[in-house]
Structure 1
Amino acid sequence: MPVVDVPVSGGTSKAHYLVTGSGPGLVLVHGTGATGEGNWGPLIKALGDRYTIVAPDLPGSGGTRDPGGPFTLHDLVAHVVAAARDAGLDRFHVVGHSLGAVVATATAALHPDLVNSLTAHAGWVRSDPQMVFQFELWQHLARTDPAAMARMMLLTAMGKETLRAWDRTTFEQVAAAVTELLDGARDGLARQSAANAGVDLTGLLPHVTAPTLVISSADDRIVPPHHQHELVDRIPHARLLRVPGGHGLPAENPELLLTKVAEHLERLDPSRSCA
């Protein structure tokens, strides 16, 4: 997969990204502790025949190698823009989940000339004291106890109906798989959690000009729905869509998220419809 050099705080990042498909550009930005391909696999598979899809790994994730230490929101945006340009995209739609929603929103605000549309799931404007407390706990557990981190994330990221449907064996199997994933990405997860704690998009949101869909999961306990309501209030002409499920919708119900993203894109360009 391609790698592009990105100037960031402290030096140069070797940004790894996936590129596949054909058609208008569609950039997918992953959430905390994930990767581009891992977060967006079903969507990449479903939309690759209609869009040129670029999915970068943010600093601390996947194949990207950065200088280490803290990074800024501008550093994360730089990864998105560099991957898109290196893949040959002049303009693109951008979709983000959680931290990726924050980065996607900042990209739309800082580079309105590049962004055709914005879709943000589980995003937020500014980290309040409860979220800062949560993300500081994530930093600690990521570095000291990935198994506990995995269990906590399962209990808070999944929606109520999903958790009710699982038996003990399912909980243990999923927790083991998540623990293995997190154990190999302790430092990156901790640094991305630190970035989460410092989020403040307040001054950027009035500059978002692209058609915007904000998707809010009803059972989101990591970034509760009132945060998405605030995003819609602050982004000009943004539209709010409420869906069932939890914060981990890309894993919990990828078909639902895919459908809503595709519908938003098709509203803007009916020629991209799969019908």
Structure 2
Amino acid sequence: MPVVDVAVSGGISKAHYLVTGSGPGLVLVHGTGATGQVNWGPLIEALSDRYTIVAPDLPGAGETRDPGGPITLHDMVAHVVAAARDAGLERFHLAGHSLGAVVATATAGLHPDLVDSLTLHAGWVRADAQMAFQFELWKELVRTDPAAMARMLLLTAMGKDTLRSWDRTAFDQAAAAFTGLLEGDRAQDGFARLSEANATIDLTGLLPDVTAPTLIISSADDRIVFPHHQLELADGIPHARLLRVPGGHGLPGENPELLTAKVAEHLARVA
């Protein structure tokens, strides 16, 4: 993976990013504890014949090595912009999942001249009391019992229909995969710091500055970022379109075909 130096609040971050494909730029931003490949693998495979796809690892995630300490919204936006520019993209389409949707929104608000379109899944404007409580629990659990954190994340991320369809083997396999994302002190520390960042983000002042055509995708059974948060995003971003789909917060893993289709449709509509 290419690496680019990014100036952040704590010093210099060595930001790793995936780049593949050819055509107009499409930058993909992952959620807490994931990477671009984890959240967007099927979409990358499906669209790399039409787009130059760039997927940065945010500070505290994947292969990126940041200075440590608190992670700010501006730090994460800086990683997105630096990766896109280092990959040679002057302008780009932008898509984000969960925390990635928040970072993508902030990028579009702070750098409207760079963003041709915006697609957001499971985003929010600011954490309410329930979300802040949840992220505090994540931060505590990942440091004390990462396996329990992974199991809880699994049970809340997947939609009810998916969970009902699984047998015990499927649960064990999925739990092992989630646990694997949290293996090692660096991964756990990064997850905890990103969880802390989740609770402090507030996009309110940036929403009116988003000029890119925006699609907001809301999963009906999202129990991590409840659907009313996507409605608030749609109300705040000028001319945004809200699309409700079945499934849970973990739609990128639960039904990647659906998410890929909706992103591709929005890109085609913009073109």
Q: What is the 5 A alignment of 1:152-171?
A: 152-171=152-171
Deviation at 1:34, TM superposition (A): 0.2
Q: Map 1:1-275; keep pairs closer than 5 Å.
A: 1-184=1-184, 185-269=187-271
Q: Which amino acid aligns with 2:53?
A: I
In structure 2, what is the Cα distance between the partners aligned to 1:23 and 1:98? 26
Quick one: which amino acid aligns to residue 56 of structure 2?
Answer: P
Shift of 1:38: 1.6
Tell me whether 31-40 or 72-81 shows the greater mean CA deviation. 31-40
Partner SS state of residue 12, structure 1: strand
- In structure 2, distance between residues paired with 1:181 and 1:110: 31
Matched residue of 2:82: which SS?
helix
Give the 3-state SS of the residue equivalent to 1:76 in structure 2: helix
- Pairwise CA distance, 1:88: 0.3
Letter in 2 for 1:40: W
Aligned AA for 1:37?
Q
Shift of 1:110: 0.2
Distance in 2, matches of 1:178 and 1:264, equals 30
Q: Which digits, 9 at most, give the CA deviation of each residue in 1:190-242, with x for residues without a partner? A: 11101101111000000000000000000000000000001000100000000
Unaligned runs of 5+ in 1: 270-275
Deviation of 1:180 (Å): 2.2
User: 2: CA distance between counterparts of 1:51 and 1:256?
Assistant: 19
**Amino acid across the alignment from 2:75:** D
Query: Structure 1, residues 123-150: CA drift from partner, whole Å, max 9, x if none?
Result: 0011001100000000011111111101
Q: Secondary structure at the match of 2:20?
A: strand
* Structure 2 SS opposite 1:90: coil
CA deviations 1:62-111 (Å, max 9, x no partner) are: 11000001011000000000000000000000000000000000000000
Q: TM-score, normalised by structure 1?
A: 0.97
Aligned partners of 1:77, 1:160: CA distance in 2, in Å? 33
Q: Gaps (5+ residues) in structure 2?
A: none
User: Match of 1:135, SS?
Assistant: helix
The number of residues matched between the two structures is: 269
Distance 2:139 2:24 in 1: 37
Q: Give the equivalent residue in structure 2 for 1:273.
A: none
The one-letter amino acid paired with 2:44 is: I
Indicate the residue corresponding to 1:272 in structure 2. Answer: none
Q: Distance between the aligned counterparts of 1:10 and 1:150, measured in 2?
A: 29
Q: List, as ranges, runs of 4+ consecutive aligned residues in structure 1 with deviation greater than 6 Å.
A: none
Q: Give the distance between the partners of 1:177 and 1:227, measured in 2 at CA.
A: 28
CA RMSD of the aligned region, Å? 0.6
